[in-house]
Amino acid sequence: MSPEYSDQTKKKVEEVISHYPKKEAALLPVLHLTQREFGKISKEEEALVADFLNIKPIQVREAVTFYSMIHQKEMGKYHIQVCRNLSCTLMGAGTLIDYLKDKLNIEPGETTPDHKFSLSTVECLGACEQAPCMMVNFDYYGHLDKKKIDQILDDLE
């Protein structure tokens, strides 16, 4: 079945479209809203977005495959994104990435079988003073070490 927006999301989509002189300019905000509702932008969601913005599905696909925060497949409930850029690497991110791989038993880019965690390594998150740092969904965690990672993950239901 093709997806449909909830009334609430639909309202937000329409509002955000009104911010721009051209409908298609709302593509990124609409993709964010769509992903928040459906967890991913696969072919079906692409068609939905294209329909709302009056553009071709391929135009949506072009953006989806360009922007790393837009996912074609659904992520786990908690998406762990560990920074691998310079300040974090200098402060030990490499060891922490290995630790998370072992702990979750997945590689970056993968999701645990129970769909609870996805792991990614990402470029600079703009929180270098807290290196090494990571994001879980949209929450930042800094000054990480193995113990702190254990705590953070234990607290996630």
- Binding residues (CB under 8 A) for other proteins: these are 19-22, 24-29, 31-32, 53, 55, 59, 62-63, 66-70, 84-87, 89-91, 122-131, 135, 138-139
Q: How far is the CB of 10 from other proteins (least distance, A)?
A: 19
Interacting residues of 10 by C-beta distance below 8 A, sequence separation 6+:
none
Identity of the residue, 27 or 149, whose beta carbon is nearer to other proteins in the bound complex = 27
Distance CA 127, CA 154 (A): 23
Identity of the residue, 82 or 105, whose beta carbon is nearer to other proteins in the bound complex = 82
Among residues 97, 101, 109, which one has the least CA distance to residue 144? Answer: 97
Identity of the residue, 27 or 150, whose beta carbon is nearer to other proteins in the bound complex = 27
Distance CA 56, CA 43 (A): 12
Identity of the residue, 21 or 113, whose beta carbon is nearer to other proteins in the bound complex = 21
Identity of the residue, 105 or 137, whose beta carbon is nearer to other proteins in the bound complex = 137
What distances in angstroms separate CA 128 from CA 71, 80, 91, 144, 152, one per listed residue?
25, 17, 10, 12, 19
Three-state DSSP at 136 gives strand
Q: How far is the CB of 58 from other proteins (least distance, A)?
A: 12
Distance CA 7, CA 77 (A): 23
Q: How far is the CB of 53 from other proteins (least distance, A)?
A: 7
Q: How far is the CB of 116 from other proteins (least distance, A)?
A: 21
Q: How far is the CB of 100 from other proteins (least distance, A)?
A: 18
CA dihedral 62, 68, 72, 73 (to 10 degrees): 170
